[in-house]
A = this chain, B = another copy of it.
Amino acid sequence: MNSRSTVDSLFGAMQSDTFDATQCPVRNILDRIGDKWTSLVLVALADRPHRFSELQRAAPDISKRMLTQTLRQLERDGLITRQVFPTKPPAVQYQLSPLGVSVLEPLGHLIDWANRSYDQILSARAEYDSANPASALPVNA
């Protein structure tokens, strides 16, 4: 039933019938990139290495717990490195690894698209909401 005509070479693997979506590399990674804080941290670190509390200040609405978790995941995935300096008050520096740097380029494309398209999306939302006034997202209501 499922048309397995794989037109696009990029998406082909994701569209084949035998594809096991539950252990998809792409989904695995998109889940990480897309979560609420990861990309923010990556962008902050794109500029220069940051200490823990610098990152906290850069994104004031992230809780310590979430920041720790995000950083751990990124470290585990090899996108950032964590360096502890045994200075007077021990300092911890996070910085992008080469792999982490390499994600900035595709991420940058997406950010660029987001910026370019934001207006369109906002007006699409406004239009949708005015067309569906009472039940914008009935599933959630």
Residues of chain A having any CB pair with chain B under 8 Å: 1-3, 5-8, 10-11, 13-15, 21-22, 25-31, 33-36, 39-40, 43-44, 46-48, 54, 57-61, 65, 68-69, 72-73, 75-79, 99, 101-115, 117-118, 120-121, 123-125, 127-129, 136-137, 139-140
Contact = CB atoms under 8 A, between A and B. Distances in A.
A125 B116 CA distance: 35
A77 B35 CA distance: 19
B1 A129 contact: no
- How many subunits of this chain does the assembly comprise? 2
Contact of A105 (B31, B109, B118): B109
Given A30-B39, A107-B110, A139-B69, A48 B128 contact: no
